[in-house]
Structure 1
């Protein structure tokens, strides 16, 4: 019991939010894989659905108010960069959500705690939890505060939206190398196929990824590879 309270308190400190209904944040941090085979376990997909809409509205309002001279077309493109999966993943990493999400052992063993889609979805679920627990005004404040750096970089054209291209630029800066994206497997029903991809150089696996399209899983694998390369660079002696 103490451990459960502890992880909720840790997350609340990182978010600077004290939830009246602790169950909401627990649900927001529960991946659907954790519910498989367990009875009466709520997971975060419904909150994710709501959080996506709340995020879109708050960012739209902010851009509309703060950038009065920007045309609709430009604001639409900037909003897409701010609320995209990559930006949400960045927020999740800042909050260190990976170590708090409840997921199945299998999902964890296949890199779930670093998976872009899982972390991004969790951010949307947390936004919804704040909205439900504290109201729209608090949710808007929460979003703008946590996304202020992403918003600034988006408006200054400093956001990387294509991880495959970025990975290629880094790996080929000293000459051509062969980068291969290998589809390992796919599962799920035809209307909701999940694809699993590895990105390799000379048969060496640099990163793994998943997504609900081949393109998405390749981008996720490239993002995972970039994260690993960044980690190695930061810890190089």
Structure 2
């Protein structure tokens, strides 16, 4: 399997990592325990936990903000942590740390699924188990934390809960898509071509099927909860065929 996925899996199964489940005191107490922040505006965090299916202000705008918070926090962290590492290696580390799968695993560690506010149908469809939904909520919580506590608070949280994922990177991981492109070039072949074969499943938890091919080397198909995830898995599968 792709090295990025393996890093996520290995970090998520570490026995020393705490798991926060439900908290009797509600959102405020959960935020204090899981995020280490006493919210001034608890409604901001309620919005960050609210899926569009719940019929209220959803997390989408906060997710937009939190995505940028996470990117900046991780980029700055890597810049400081690896002062002699070239941009290409830092980029590979960055891509793993901000990946949807990593955000979802972080969310599960923090107990996010039990806190997500869902409409009846989305709840019955299992939206609280979706990597897409959990990852989006994690980013929305970072957006809420930025507004309510400032960038220092957001960076402190990122460095605390993402630390096992960075620590497990014994070397900068190479993304399967980049690796496949390099292998094709080394063999004198044309660049990989990706094709979206279909999208199916519930709107809040879609599955994408993608095909990647290299003329003269073969093709592979794979599925994922996002187009990017499916492309990554397909690239990893074709790499296995080419070895």
Match of 1:108 among 105, 120, 123: 123
- Counterpart of 2:98 in structure 1 is 83
User: What is the number of equivalent residue pairs in this alignment?
Assistant: 179
Match of 2:32 among 12, 20, 32: 12
Q: Describe how 1:15-164 pairs up with structure 2 within 5 A.
A: 15-35=35-55, 41-156=56-171
Q: Is the contact between residue 112 and residue 118 of structure 1 (CA under 8 Å) also seen in structure 2?
A: yes
Name the CA shift for 1:4/1:31 in 2 (closer, same or farther; >3 Å). farther
Q: Is the contact between residue 30 and residue 44 of structure 1 (CA under 8 Å) also seen in structure 2?
A: yes
Name the CA shift for 1:49/1:8 in 2 (closer, same or farther; >3 Å). same
Query: C-alpha offsets along residues 38-86 of structure 1, whole Å, 9 cap, x if unaligned?
Result: xxx2110000000010110111011111101110011011100001011
Aligned residue for 2:58, secondary structure, equals coil
Task: Specify every segment of 5 or more residues in structure 1 that has no aligned partner in the other structure, as ranges.
Answer: 36-40, 163-182, 199-208, 220-237
Q: Is the contact between residue 210 and residue 216 of structure 1 (CA under 8 Å) also seen in structure 2?
A: yes
Q: Is the contact between residue 211 and residue 217 of structure 1 (CA under 8 Å) also seen in structure 2?
A: no
Name the CA shift for 1:9/1:78 in 2 (closer, same or farther; >3 Å). same
Aligned-partner Cα distance in 1 for 2:98–2:65: 14
Higher mean C-alpha deviation, range 10-19 or range 125-134: 10-19
Aligned-partner Cα distance in 2 for 1:115–1:157: 27
Aligned-partner Cα distance in 2 for 1:139–1:59: 11
- CA-based RMSD of the aligned residues comes to 3.4
Give yes or no for the alignment of 1:195 onto 2:211: no
Aligned residue for 2:206, secondary structure, equals strand
- Counterpart of 1:173 in structure 2 is none
Structure-2-length-normalised TM-score: 0.63
Shift of 1:196: 4.2
Aligned-partner Cα distance in 2 for 1:160–1:72: 14
Task: Specify every segment of 5 or more residues in structure 2 that has no aligned partner in the other structure, as ranges.
Answer: 1-22, 178-197, 210-222, 234-243
Query: C-alpha offsets along residues 173-205 of structure 1, whole Å, 9 cap, x if unaligned?
Result: xxxxxxxxxx794576xxxx973479xxxxxxx
Which structure carries more relative contact order (alpha carbon 8 Å, separation 6+)? Answer: 2
Structure 1 ranges of 4+ moved more than 6 A: 158-162
